[in-house]
C-alpha cells in the first residue's frame, strides 16, 4: 500500500500501523538483545586491550547517533517507510560485515560492521514516533506503549535464537551475526503494510507553510528539555549496566546460557509494562510516571550492590543479577516511555523532524558515552569482576540526581506558569 496523506478521522488507521510496528519491534528488534549478549564478549575475544571489550556496542550507538541527525529529516520529507527500509538494510549489511570480522579475527572489521548496525538501531528508535503520526492525542500514549511492547517478543526471540545458533560454527558468535542478516532481510517486508503520511514535502507548496522553531528555541521549552534529560538518563543508565552485565555474569563463573537468560529477563522487564503504560500515563500523568521510573532505576542499582555484599567467594548470586536487571528494565520503561510521551506532546507536527532527530541524537549520544564508560568501569576499575561491577552501579547515582532535579524544576516551572 502506498503512503497517503488522508486526514485523520479516527484511530483505525493508527491501530493498523501500530500492529505493523509491533511486529517490526518484535522480529527486527530481536537483533538488539542478541547483539548486546555477544558483542562485548566478541570484543573481549578480539581486542588487544580488554578495556576496549565493549567498544563494538559503543560503535553501534555511535552509528545510531550520527544517523539520527539525517534520518529523521529524511523521514519528514520522504516518509517513515523509506527510513525504515534504510534501517533494515543497514542492519543486514552491518551484521554481514561483523560476521566477516569474526571470521578473519579482525577487531577493526567488527567495529565497522557495528557502525552500520547503528543505522538499524536509529531507525528502530523512530518506530515509537511513527506510531503517533496518525494517532489522536488520547491514543498517542497507548500507541507508543503498544509498539514498545513488541519488544517483549524480541526479548524472548533474541536470546533463544542466540542459544539456537551458538556452537553451530567453529568461530564463536558467528552464528548470531548471520542470523541477524536473515532477520533484517526478511523483516523489511513488514513495512509494505504501513499506512503513514508521505511527509512534509506538500507543506512547502503552501502559500504560508508552517515555520518550525529553531533548535535554540526548542531547547528553551522546559517540556522538551526535561523530556530529553529523563530520556537520556533512563536509556544511558540502562545501557551502562546492561553492557557490563554479560561480562559480569560470565566473569563471575556462570555460563553464557545463563547470561542469555538474564538478558532475556531484563528485556522482558523492559517491555512488559508497555501493555498498560499508556493507560497509566493517562490516569496518573506523565511526570508521575517518569518519577516512578527514576525511583525504580535507583532500586536496581541498590539491588546489584546488595547482591555483591552477600556474595560468597567473589560470586554474586544469580538472583541478585536477575533482581538488578529486572528492576533496570522496569525503570527504563517508565522513564523512557514517559519521556517520549512528553516529547511528542511538546511540538507541532511540522517540527517533528527537527525535534525527534535532535532528541535521539542527544539521547543516543549519551548512551554511546555510557556504553564506552561501561567497558572501562567494568574491566579497568580495580582488579576483579566484583570491583568492576560495583563501579558500574555506583556510577548511576549522579545521573539519577540530575534527572530527578530536572523533574522538580519542571513541576515548579509549571506551577509558576499556572499561577
Phi, psi of 239 (to 5 degrees): -70, -40
Tell me how many domains the chain contains.
1
Q: What is the structure's pLDDT at 8?
A: 45
pTM assigned to the model: 0.74
H helices of 310-384, in order, are 318-344, 352-380
Residue (of 388, 266, 417, 398) closest to 332 by Cα position:
266
- Name the β-bridge partners of 315: 312
Q: How far apart are CA 287 and CA 297, in angstroms?
A: 16
What is the grid cell recorded at 89? 538494510
Residues 287/291/294/296 CA torsion (nearest 10 deg): -120
398 C-beta neighbours (distance < 10 Å), count: 9
Q: How far apart are CA 364 and CA 362, in angstroms?
A: 6
Q: How far apart are CA 363 and CA 68, in angstroms?
A: 10
What's the whole-number mean pLDDT along residues 75-87?
A: 91
Residue at 406 is within a domain: yes
Residue at 178 is within a domain: yes
> CB–CB of 235/290 below 8 Å?
no
Q: What is the DSSP letter of 196?
A: -
Residue at 353 is within a domain: yes
Sequence-distant (6+) residues with CB within 8 A of 245 are 259, 262, 263, 266, 321, 325
Q: Note the pLDDT tens digit of each residue in 237-256.
A: 998 998 888 888 888 878 87
Q: What is the structure's pLDDT at 315?
A: 67
Q: How far apart are CA 221 and CA 326, in angstroms?
A: 33
Q: Note the pLDDT tens digit of each residue in 24-56.
A: 999 999 998 899 888 888 988 898 887 787 789
Residue at 88 is within a domain: yes
- Structural domain span for residue 27: 12-198+213-418
Sequence-distant (6+) residues with CB within 8 A of 131 are 14, 17, 18, 21, 140, 143, 144, 146, 147
> Domain containing 292 — which CATH number?
1.20.1250.20
Sequence-distant (6+) residues with CB within 8 A of 22 are 146, 147, 149, 150
What's the pLDDT band for 3 if we cut at 50, 70, 90?
Answer: very low
In the block, cell 571489550 appears at 53
Q: How far apart are CA 135 and CA 144, in angstroms?
A: 10
Q: What is the structure's pLDDT at 308?
A: 61
288 C-beta neighbours (distance < 10 Å), count: 15
Q: How far apart are CA 350 and CA 223, in angstroms?
A: 18
How far lies 69's CA from each of 54, 117, 123, 129, 363, in Å?
24, 16, 11, 15, 12
Per-residue 3-state assignment (H helix, E strand, C coil) for 248-282: HHHHCCCCHHHHHHHHHHHHHHHHCCHHHHHHHHH
Is the model's pLDDT at 18 over the cut of 50? Answer: yes
Residue (of 382, 381, 386) closest to 317 by Cα position:
386
Q: How far apart are CA 40 and CA 19, in angstroms?
A: 33
Residue at 236 is within a domain: yes
Q: What is the structure's pLDDT at 2?
A: 43
Residue at 318 is within a domain: yes
217 C-beta neighbours (distance < 10 Å), count: 11
Residue at 288 is within a domain: yes
Mapping DSSP to helix (H, G, I), strand (E, B) and coil, where does residue 20 land? helix
Residue at 207 is within a domain: no
What's the whole-number mean pLDDT along residues 213-232?
A: 89
What's the whole-number mean pLDDT along residues 377-394?
A: 83
Amino acid at each position: 500500500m502506498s503512503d497517503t496523506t488522508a486526514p485523520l478521522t479516527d484511530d483505525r488507521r493508527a491501530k493498523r500501523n501500530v500492529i505493523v510496528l509491533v511486529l517490526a519491534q518484535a522480529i527486527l528488534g530481536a537483533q538488539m538483545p542478541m547483539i548486546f549478549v555477544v558483542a562485548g564478549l566478541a570484543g573481549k575475544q578480539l581486542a588487544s586491550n580488554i578495556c576496549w571489550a565493549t567498544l563494538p556496542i559503543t560503535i553501534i550507538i555511535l552509528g545510531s547517533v550520527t544517523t539520527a541527525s539525517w534520518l529523521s529529516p529524511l523521514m519528514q520529507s520522504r516518509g517513515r517507510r523509506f527510513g525504515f527500509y534504510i534501517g533494515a538494510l543497514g542492519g543486514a549489511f552491518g551484521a554481514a560485515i561483523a560476521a566477516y570480522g569474526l571470521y578473519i579475527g579482525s577487531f577493526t572489521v567488527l567495529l565497522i560492521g557495528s557502525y552500520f548496525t547503528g543505522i538499524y538501531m536509529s531507525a528502530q528508535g523512530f518506530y515509537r514516533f511513527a506510531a503517533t503520526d496518525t494517532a489522536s492525542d488520547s491514543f498517542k500514549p497507548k500507541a507508543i506503549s503498544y509498539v514498545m511492547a513488541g519488544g517483549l517478543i524480541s526479548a524472548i526471540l533474541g536470546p533463544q535464537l542466540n542459544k539456537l545458533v551458538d556452537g553451530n560454527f567453529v568461530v564463536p558468535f558467528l552464528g548470531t551475526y548471520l542470523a541477524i542478516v536473515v532477520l533484517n532481510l526478511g523483516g523489511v517486508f513488514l513495512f509494505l503494510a504501513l499506512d503513514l503520511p508521505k511527509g512534509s514535502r506538500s507543506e512547502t507548496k503552501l502559500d504560508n507553510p508552517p515555520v518550525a522553531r529553531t533548535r535554540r528555541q526548542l531547547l528553551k521549552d522546559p517540556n522538551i528539555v526535561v523530556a530529553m534529560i529523563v530520556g537520556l538518563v533512563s536509556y544511558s543508565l540502562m545501557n551502562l549496566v546492561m553492557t557490563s552485565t554479560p561480562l559480569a555474569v560470565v566473569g563471575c563463573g556462570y555460563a553464557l546460557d545463563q547470561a542469555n537468560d538474564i538478558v532475556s529477563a531484563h528485556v522482558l522487564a523492559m517491555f512488559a509494562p508497555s501493555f498498560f503504560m499508556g493507560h497509566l500515563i493517562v490516569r496518573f500523568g506523565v511526570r508521575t510516571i517518569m518519577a516512578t521510573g527514576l525511583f525504580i532505576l535507583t532500586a536496581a542499582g541498590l539491588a546489584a550492590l546488595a547482591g555483591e555484599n552477600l556474595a560468597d567467594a567473589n560470586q554474586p548470586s544469580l538472583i541478585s543479577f536477575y533482581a538488578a536487571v529486572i528492576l533496570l528494565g522496569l525503570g527504563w520503561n517508565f522513564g523512557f516511555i514517559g519521556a517520549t510521551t512528553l516529547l511528542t506532546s511538546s511540538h507541532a507536527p511540522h517540527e517533528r523532524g527537527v525535534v525527534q532527530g535532535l532528541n535521539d541524537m542527544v539521547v543516543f549520544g549519551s548512551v554511546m558515552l555510557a556504553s564506552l564508560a561501561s567497558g572501562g568501569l567494568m574491566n579497568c576499575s580495580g582488579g576483579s569482576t566484583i570491583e568492576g561491577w560495583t563501579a558500574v552501579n555506583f556510577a548511576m547515582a549522579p545521573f539519577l540526581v540530575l534527572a530527578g532535579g530536572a523533574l522538580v524544576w519542571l513541576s515548579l516551572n509549571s506551577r509558576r506558569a499556572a499561577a
